[in-house]
């Protein structure tokens, strides 16, 4: 089941995302080896999990799958998302058929349709 977590991670990007989550009265949700239908939070961290939809300020996924991921900042590693919508999206060794983003950084990504203001990497 999702857990609420509020400790600094000693990672500047995660700490900024957590501070933004606090400003938005959001929560940080960690999902580990679980399945959930919908997550709405300030920051979401997923590992070896699945979700139907995620709406958040920042999302970090590893070995996970989501039908719809919508966030300002999205990081995907060895994961899949049917639809990914974000301002800044970093994708490594993942699959996402449809990506809509302001900026995409990619490495070993499989996609069908990419709409981005700026795209870097191997897509």
Is 17 within 8 Å of 58 (Cβ atoms)? yes
pLDDT reported for residue 95: 94
The pTM for the full model equals 0.77
Mean pLDDT within 77-91: 95
Q: Domain count for the chain, please give it.
A: 1
Poorest-pLDDT segment among 4-8, 60-64, 75-79, 96-100: 4-8
Burial, 29: exposed, middle or buried (Cβ in 10 Å; 0-12, 13-18, 19+)? Answer: buried
Range of the domain at 17: 3-121
Confidence of residue 4 (pLDDT cuts 50, 70, 90): very low
Q: Which two tokens stand for residue 54?
A: 């995620």
CB neighbour list of residue 42: distance below 8 Å, 6 or more residues apart: 17, 18, 20, 21, 22, 24, 25, 26, 27, 28, 56, 57, 58
């Amino acid at each position: 089941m999702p857990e609420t977590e509020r400790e600094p991670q000693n990672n500047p990007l995660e700490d900024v995302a957590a501070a933004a989550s606090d400003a938005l009265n959001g929560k940080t949700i960690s999902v580990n080896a679980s399945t959930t239908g919908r997550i709405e939070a300030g920051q979401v961290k997923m590992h070896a999990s699945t979700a139907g939809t995620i709406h958040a300020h920042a999302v970090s996924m590893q070995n996970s799958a989501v039908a719809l991921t919508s966030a300002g900042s999205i990081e995907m590693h060895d994961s899949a998302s049917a639809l990914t919508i974000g301002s800044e999206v970093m994708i490594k060794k993942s699959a996402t058929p449809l990506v809509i983003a302001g900026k995409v950084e990619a490495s070993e990504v499989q996609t069908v349709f990419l709409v981005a203001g700026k795209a870097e990497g191997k897509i």
